[in-house]
Amino acid sequence: MAQTTDATPRTRALPGNDGVGGEGGAPGKRSRLGQWNSAVTSYYLLTGASVLLLVLGLVMVLSSSSVDSLADGGSPYAVFFSQAQFALIGLPLMWLASRLPVRFYHRFAWFILVGAIVMQLLVFTPLGIGQGGNRNWILIGGFTAQPSEAVKLALAIWLGAVLARKRALLQDWKHSIIPALPVALVAIGVVLMGHDLGTALVMLMLVAGALFVAGVPMRVFGVAGLGAVVAVIGLAVTSENRMQRISDFFSGDPDLAAGGYQTLHGTQALATGGWFGLGLGQSREKWSYLPEAHNDFIFAIIGEELGLIGTLLVLLLFALLALGMFRVIARHPDPVAQITTGAIAAWIIGQALVNMGVVVGLVPVIGVPLPLVSAGGSALIMTMAALGVVISFARGEPGAAEALSARPHVLRRSLAVIGRVRR
């Protein structure tokens, strides 16, 4: 009896390219799943969302500030050029931070925090200047800086290093509190000395994010949270300006001298924008009706000019940013990277939610900018540096460095394409 042979060639199934009837399901589904589980997904989520938010912010700063710049007798591009300069300063810092290894932040955490606190203390010297009841800026060589923004990043890095070192002992309430909470309270206290409650609230969220990711027992977490709430209430009731803003928020009275006026015009801007907006540059509220249109209330101008679609785009970009950070926390093997990323995520995403909550009237007017979007040099530079730190951690995920180095450079790919076209 002759032996028959199978004339059909057998091919080896490739990962992510299974047949339609195989166990892996459809090729497209496996391919998408493989891309999502890729070691570089966090890296591209973080870099892509950061760049898009930065570009959107520059466009909206130009649109929202041009009228006030002209009214002040200057160029309509004055605030935009200033913001663009800060972005150009922040880009190399972001790149440098994204190339530093985790061990650098672990080794120099104490020096970074002490240096930032010393800078913050300079606001109480002749170098310090005040505005709107807050003394939170320094003037050096004609340049104004806000040291509290550097304190945020320094505190996030320090908490990551300290809590990671004590992670095995954090179930003991003494180790979970000391030295993390006393040192954090010192850092927050020097900011509160300048009467900047908004920044202090963001720093409290930052500390909470670090403690939560570190695995501090919930009973300690709850007690610390209750203490923070009591402290914030105490600071609010002892300030006439803050109590005025809170009373305006609950009464709904748009007092021209208080925060209710800003909230009223912010919601009017959002309502006027409708689904698709009035068009880029067509805002009416920026004509001196809405104070801080290019800063704390820039989200309202986005809603007025770009409509609901524009505001949803901003929310989507921050959601992608948060997703990238959560992936780093879940996938990175080093607890320093996990805890520091948790702190930075609570800072940036929490501050964004507070800012948008103020604009839509869900939160009393606090005075915090929208990260990467609002005008403000120190806030932009330090936010970019913080994202650079998280991008560094994303590059340190298992397999990420190898995957990134294996991919050809964008310039080389472009030149190769041009060469093939010419041939």
On whether residue 288 sits in a domain, the answer given is: yes
Mean pLDDT of the chain: 84
On whether residue 1 sits in a domain, the answer given is: no
Q: Between 24 and 150, whose confidence is greater?
A: 150
On whether residue 18 sits in a domain, the answer given is: no
pLDDT at residue 197 tops 60: yes
Distance CA 184, CA 346 (A): 15
Tell which residue, 334, 124, 117, has the closest CA to residue 134: 124
Does 398 sit behind a cis peptide bond, omega within 30 degrees of 0 on the bond before it?
no
Report pLDDT digits (tens) over 169-183: 888 888 888 888 999
On whether residue 254 sits in a domain, the answer given is: yes
pLDDT at residue 166 tops 60: yes
Report pLDDT digits (tens) over 271-311: 998 899 999 988 988 888 888 889 999 999 999 999 999 99
On whether residue 247 sits in a domain, the answer given is: yes
Beta bridge partners of 129: 137
Q: Between 260 and 67, whose confidence is greater?
A: 67
Report pLDDT digits (tens) over 330-370: 999 999 999 999 999 999 999 999 999 999 888 888 889 99
Report pLDDT digits (tens) over 55-82: 999 999 999 998 888 877 778 899 999 9
User: Are the beta carbons of 236 and 268 closer than 8 angstroms?
Assistant: no
What is the number of structural domains in the chain?
A: 1
- Strand spans (E) along 223-343: none
Tell which residue, 40, 47, 73, 78, has the closest CA to residue 62: 78
On whether residue 95 sits in a domain, the answer given is: yes
Tell which residue, 317, 325, 328, 359, has the closest CA to residue 344: 325
On whether residue 417 sits in a domain, the answer given is: no
What are the residue ranges of helices labelled H in 166-282? 173-177, 180-192, 197-214, 218-237, 240-251, 259-273
Distance CA 109, CA 267 (A): 42
- Banded model confidence at residue 230, pLDDT cuts 50, 70, 90: confident
> Looking at this protein, which amino acid is placed at residue 263?
T
On whether residue 45 sits in a domain, the answer given is: yes
CB burial string 153-189: b at 16+ within 10 A, e below: bbbbbbbbbbbbeebeebeeeebbbeebbebbbebbe
For β-strands 134-140 and 128-131, DSSP reports them as antiparallel
Q: Between 59 and 239, whose confidence is greater?
A: 59
Range of 223's domain? Answer: 40-398
User: Are the beta carbons of 418 and 410 closer than 8 angstroms?
Assistant: no
